[in-house]
Amino acid sequence: MLGSLSQLMSTSSTSHVQEQEVPRPQTAFQLLVTCADLISQSDYSAAKRLLSILLSDSSPYGDSVERLVYQFVRALSLRLNRHGIPTSTAPVPSVFSVNKIVSTCPPCGANNKMLNSHDSDQETLRSCYLSLNQITPFIRFSHLTANQAILEAIQGGQQTIHIIDFDIMHGVQWPPLMQALADRSSNTLHPPPMLRITGTGHDLNILHRTGDRLLKFAQSLGLRFQFHPLLLLNNDLTSLALHLPSAITILPDEALAVNCVLYLHRFLKDDSRELLLFLHKIKALNPMVVTIAEREANHNQPLFLQRFLEALDHYKALFDSLEATLPPNSRERLAVEQIWFGREIMDIVAAEGEGRRERHQKFETWEMMLKSVGFNKVPLSPFALAQAKLLLRLHYPSEGYRLQILRNSFFLGWQNHSLFSISSWH
């Protein structure tokens, strides 16, 4: 943890602004917190002076501390701009240009997925998401564990398995599950079940391309497969919650699984009515299993300063993990930090009210909500634990990653800081 606000601010004062000292790493965090505190008190002129110091001594190309400070300085600058206080850092666009990042980055090796030219924000985000999936274990860990929970809940004998995947994105979760279904049937006299996936998303072209890729992979395994795209226009989650039963076709006698990997937090607002409505609708579908993965962070604090401290603590651990596991001049890491995590930091720090989308809650809150609508937790199995450990050992062989089991759920983090949780429910 970064420590309490009083601890951080005890050695940081406005004298730093007057003396124009070059901040040491810990002092940089202290100055960031002091700046956020000044903004929370509407002392914008003092905050602007602090930001100018921090900007001159941070860089998106330095060590993990400098890169993290740089992202938070950009976010605080944007918040000041929205208060009508122009700073020396212009507001950043919703999506950074990968080409601009690459052109200003020190030379790197040729094995680089982020060098491709992208014509649209969506394509940029797609490429960045795939890199995030490769260079960090968090998404793979969530997908692998969720898949195992689904396989164990649906042991066999069903003619049809139906998975509702909320925000399927590029479908990278499902080929391993398809392979597992095909392998399981090869050891029996029964043919593999029909697999139906209903995938939600905000871009119909991406949904169709995802469905086509999954269909081709299923055909290569001899697996009967159907894909049903469900388009959500304008991120209309309220409409989805209200019309969920009629929007999704569920056939008689099919085994239903619902997958919510890094999804439920999108329903979080200043109250939980929309989220509870959505969970009630999911429960009414009577699924055999519901898999849930979320950030282990509290970024839904209504008070700006508390939210800022939570975000600084969370992203420090993320940036430290990238620093320890990737080469110093990794362009994939640079793009993931600036595009993916940079967008999140911008939203958490600079946005307010209905405009703030990146809202996360810790596991205790999810557990309480799920139990309140009638869900019961399904303990994750020893085999799921062994798989997760093998994933970390083979693909991310750093001693810094930690896997914990608490309250029959898995928590993956860096050092002693939990960053993601996954659980299974029915």
* Residue 307 sits in the same domain as residue 287: no
Assigned domain for 124 exists: no
**pLDDT at res. 100:** 47
Where does the pLDDT of residue 87 fall: very low under 50, low under 70, confident under 90, or very high at 90 and above? Answer: confident
Asked whether residue 23 carries a pLDDT value surpassing 80, the answer given is no
Eight-class DSSP state of 379 = P
Assigned domain for 125 exists: no
Asked whether residue 170 carries a pLDDT value surpassing 50, the answer given is yes
| Least confident residue range of 54-58, 85-89, 376-380 | 85-89
Cα–Cα dist 170/34, whole Å: 41
Give the 3-state DSSP-derived string for 242-262, with helices as H, strands as E and coil as C: HHHHHHCCCCCCCEEEEEEEC
- Out of 355, 370, 385, a domain closes at 355
Where does the pLDDT of residue 238 fall: very low under 50, low under 70, confident under 90, or very high at 90 and above? Answer: low
Looking at residues 180-201, what average pLDDT do you find? Answer: 87
11 vs 164, residue with greater confidence: 164
Q: What is the distance of C-alpha 127 from the center of its chain?
A: 15
* Residue 319 sits in the same domain as residue 393: no
Q: Which residues contact 301 (CB under 8 A, 6 or more apart)?
A: 307, 310
- For residue 305, how many other CB atoms are within 10 A of its CB? 15
Asked whether residue 297 carries a pLDDT value surpassing 90, the answer given is yes
Where does the pLDDT of residue 397 fall: very low under 50, low under 70, confident under 90, or very high at 90 and above? Answer: confident
Assigned domain for 116 exists: no
- Contact between 229 and 259 (Cβ < 8 Å): no
* Residue 199 sits in the same domain as residue 84: no
100 vs 378, residue with greater confidence: 378
- Contact between 400 and 321 (Cβ < 8 Å): yes
Looking at residues 112-141, what average pLDDT do you find? Answer: 73
Eight-class DSSP state of 93 = P
Where does the pLDDT of residue 126 fall: very low under 50, low under 70, confident under 90, or very high at 90 and above? Answer: confident
* Residue 335 sits in the same domain as residue 368: no
Among 262, 301, 259, residue whose Cα is nearest residue 421 = 262
Where does the pLDDT of residue 32 fall: very low under 50, low under 70, confident under 90, or very high at 90 and above? Answer: very high
DSSP 170-181: T-TTHHHHHHHH
The CATH number of residue 176's host domain is 3.40.50.150
Could you identify the residue written with the tokens 């900007």?
A: 55
**pLDDT at res. 361:** 95
Looking at residues 358-385, what average pLDDT do you find? Answer: 96
| R_g over Cα of the chain | 23
Where does the pLDDT of residue 235 fall: very low under 50, low under 70, confident under 90, or very high at 90 and above? Answer: low
Looking at residues 378-384, what average pLDDT do you find? Answer: 95
Element of type H or E holding 195: strand 194-201
Phi, psi angle pair for 108, to nearest 5°: -130, 180
- For residue 236, how many other CB atoms are within 10 A of its CB? 13
Looking at residues 99-108, what average pLDDT do you find? Answer: 39
Asked whether residue 133 carries a pLDDT value surpassing 70, the answer given is yes
- Contact between 76 and 51 (Cβ < 8 Å): yes
Which pair of tokens denotes residue 12? 């940081």
Which structural domain range is residue 68 located in? 5-111+303-355
Assigned domain for 201 exists: yes
Taken in order 282, 284, 290, 293, the sign of the CA dihedral is: positive
Residues linked to residue 295 through DSSP beta bridges, in sequence order: 420
Looking at residues 6-16, what average pLDDT do you find? Answer: 41
Assigned domain for 121 exists: no
**pLDDT at res. 36:** 97
- For residue 300, how many other CB atoms are within 10 A of its CB? 20
Could you identify the residue written with the tokens 């929205």?
A: 82
* Residue 163 sits in the same domain as residue 206: yes
Cα–Cα dist 389/409, whole Å: 14
Where does the pLDDT of residue 84 fall: very low under 50, low under 70, confident under 90, or very high at 90 and above? Answer: confident
User: Per-residue b/e over 358-386, b at no fewer than 16 CB within 10 Å?
Assistant: bbbbbbebbbebbeebebeebebeeebee
pLDDT in tens, 242-288: 667 777 889 988 999 999 999 999 888 877 888 898 999 999 999 99
The mean predicted confidence, pLDDT, of the chain is: 85
pLDDT in tens, 307-342: 999 999 999 999 999 999 999 889 999 999 999 999
**pLDDT at res. 258:** 97
Where does the pLDDT of residue 186 fall: very low under 50, low under 70, confident under 90, or very high at 90 and above? Answer: confident
pLDDT in tens, 401-410: 999 999 999 9
* Residue 86 sits in the same domain as residue 202: no
**pLDDT at res. 15:** 39
Q: Is 417 left (phi over 0), alpha (psi -120 to 50) or beta?
A: beta
* Residue 93 sits in the same domain as residue 151: no
No. of H helices and E strands in the chain?
A: 17, 9
* Residue 198 sits in the same domain as residue 99: no
- Contact between 246 and 281 (Cβ < 8 Å): no
Cα–Cα dist 45/43, whole Å: 6
- Contact between 398 and 413 (Cβ < 8 Å): no
**pLDDT at res. 108:** 35
Eight-class DSSP state of 362 = -
* Residue 45 sits in the same domain as residue 70: yes
pLDDT in tens, 64-78: 999 999 999 999 999
**pLDDT at res. 236:** 63
* Residue 170 sits in the same domain as residue 218: yes
Where does the pLDDT of residue 232 fall: very low under 50, low under 70, confident under 90, or very high at 90 and above? Answer: confident
Looking at residues 162-183, what average pLDDT do you find? Answer: 95
Phi, psi angle pair for 16, to nearest 5°: -60, -35
**pLDDT at res. 104:** 37
| Least confident residue range of 7-21, 205-219, 243-257, 330-344 | 7-21
Residues linked to residue 402 through DSSP beta bridges, in sequence order: 413
23-31, long-range: CB < 8 A, 24+ apart: 23/53, 23/54, 23/57, 25/65, 28/54, 28/57, 28/58, 28/65, 28/66, 28/69, 29/2, 29/65, 29/69, 29/312, 29/316
Asked whether residue 115 carries a pLDDT value surpassing 50, the answer given is no
- For residue 326, how many other CB atoms are within 10 A of its CB? 16
**pLDDT at res. 185:** 82
Among 322, 265, 298, 299, residue whose Cα is nearest residue 132 = 322
Cα–Cα dist 416/384, whole Å: 22
Return the beta strands (E) in 271-314 as ranges. 289-295
Assigned domain for 131 exists: no
DSSP percent split of the chain into helix, strand, coil, nearest 5: 55, 15, 35
Where does the pLDDT of residue 94 fall: very low under 50, low under 70, confident under 90, or very high at 90 and above? Answer: very low
Give the chain's domain count: 2
* Residue 370 sits in the same domain as residue 349: no
Asked whether residue 3 carries a pLDDT value surpassing 80, the answer given is no
* Residue 207 sits in the same domain as residue 74: no
